[in-house]
Amino acid sequence: MIWKNNPTVEGLNAIQQGTICSHLDIKFTEVGEDYLAASMPVDQRTKQPMGLLHGGASAVLAETLGSVASVITFDDPTKQSIVGIEINANHLKSAKSGHVYGKVKPIRIGKKLHVWNIEITDDVGHLVCVSRLTVMVIHLVTPK
């Protein structure tokens, strides 16, 4: 398993309280050996004026998955943090209702950069969005 400190779905959901994730009702649903999964409703909070899932909402789901994944790869999160430095999203299919489901897997977990692949699907498994997130690792304590 690439995750440190035995993350749980309950623990990941608890740290999202009071953030954009709780506002959009993003919920972590699974912690796998090398992936995380989460869901997000397609509703009035996540739709654009034409009634379709907003691309920005997909990007929020993708960045949430990748950022949390980076943090839980650290042995000691008090000594490291991350900042997103690039995200892209290819919107492949529209969603009008139900939920979308994101799954993040690593492309590269380096000492200074992490790159994540995020796939977002709809209720019937159609690929809605493919995203890639790059984060920079910040070392909070100077090694001796």
Residue 63 lies inside a defined structural domain of this protein: yes
pLDDT digits 0-9 by tens, 61-93 = 999 999 999 999 998 888 999 999 999 999 999
Q: Quote the pLDDT of residue 142.
A: 62
| Active site annotation includes 10 | no
- Looking up residue 49, the CATH number of its domain turns out to be 3.10.129.10
CB 53 within 8 A of CB 102: no
Q: Number of folded domains in the chain?
A: 1
Which contacts (CB < 8 Å, 24+ apart) does range 22-27 have? Answer: 24/57, 24/60, 24/61, 26/60, 26/61, 26/64
What burial letters (b/e) apply to 1-33, b meaning 16+ CB within 10 Å? eebeeebeeeebbeebeeeebeebebbbbebee
Residue 27 lies inside a defined structural domain of this protein: yes
Residue 4 lies inside a defined structural domain of this protein: no
Rounded to two decimals, what is the model's pTM?
A: 0.95
10, 30, 33, 63: the active-site residue: 63
Give the containing element (helix H, strand E) for 41.
Answer: strand 36-41
Residue 123 lies inside a defined structural domain of this protein: yes
Residue 118 lies inside a defined structural domain of this protein: yes
Q: Quote the pLDDT of residue 77.
A: 83
Over range 93-104, report the average pLDDT: 98
* Enclosing domain of residue 22: 9-139
pLDDT digits 0-9 by tens, 108-122 = 999 999 999 999 999
Q: Quote the pLDDT of residue 143.
A: 56
d(Cα 144, Cα 142) in Å, to the nearest integer? Answer: 6
Residue 50 lies inside a defined structural domain of this protein: yes
